[in-house]
């Protein structure tokens, strides 16, 4: 028995599906081989069939298509303004910054202060 591969990348599994489909392997057999190598939670049989169908229809890209998401209100200029406010008053709180910048949620503001500006609680 082969050693199973834990946590494969999605594009890796899709590449295997594409390769096996090109070798005229049946969809059920592709799923069986994937489960054998990657484990039970790799991909459902229906997903394998969907990817085989997409490759039959001419798709060649194994990566996800770009999706539109919610646009971010945080840009470099806004982060610079937050940094200026923090430098004006070093005893800031996230709640005080939320009052100054109501267009940014508390969670996003905290994430930017901690990760982008590298400020830590003392």
Whether 51 is covered by a domain: the verdict is yes
In a domain, 69, yes or no: no
65 falls within a domain: no
Domain range for 92 is: 76-116
- Same domain as 81, residue 53: no
Tell me how far apart the alpha carbons of residues 29 and 18 are, in angstroms, rounded to a whole number. Answer: 13
**Residues sharing a CB contact under 8 Å with residue 56, sequence separation 6 or more, in sequence order:** 21
- Beta strand ranges found along the chain (DSSP E): none
Summarize pLDDT for 47-77 with one digit per residue, the tens.
999 999 999 999 999 998 877 777 777 888 9
Dist CA 33 CA 12 (whole Å): 14
CATH, residue 43: 1.10.10
pLDDT of residue 2 exceeding 70:
no
Contact assessment for residue 56 and residue 73, using Cβ atoms and an 8 Å cutoff? no
* 30 within some domain: yes
- Look up residue 112 and give its DSSP letter: I
| Of residues 69 and 27, more confidently modeled | 27
| pTM, two decimal places | 0.56
């Amino acid at each position: 028995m082969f050693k199973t591969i834990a946590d494969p990348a999605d594009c890796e599994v899709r590449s295997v599906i594409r390769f096996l489909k090109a070798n005229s392997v049946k969809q059920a057999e592709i799923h069986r081989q994937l489960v054998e190598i990657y484990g039970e939670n790799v991909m459902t049989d229906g997903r394998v069939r969907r990817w085989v169908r997409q490759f039959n229809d001419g798709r060649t890209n194994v990566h996800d298509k770009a999706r539109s998401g919610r646009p971010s209100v945080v840009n470099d200029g806004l982060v610079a303004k937050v940094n200026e406010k923090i430098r004006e008053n070093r005893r800031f709180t996230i709640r005080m910054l939320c009052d100054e910048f109501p267009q940014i949620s508390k969670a996003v503001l905290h994430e930017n202060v901690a990760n982008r500006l590298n400020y830590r609680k003392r």
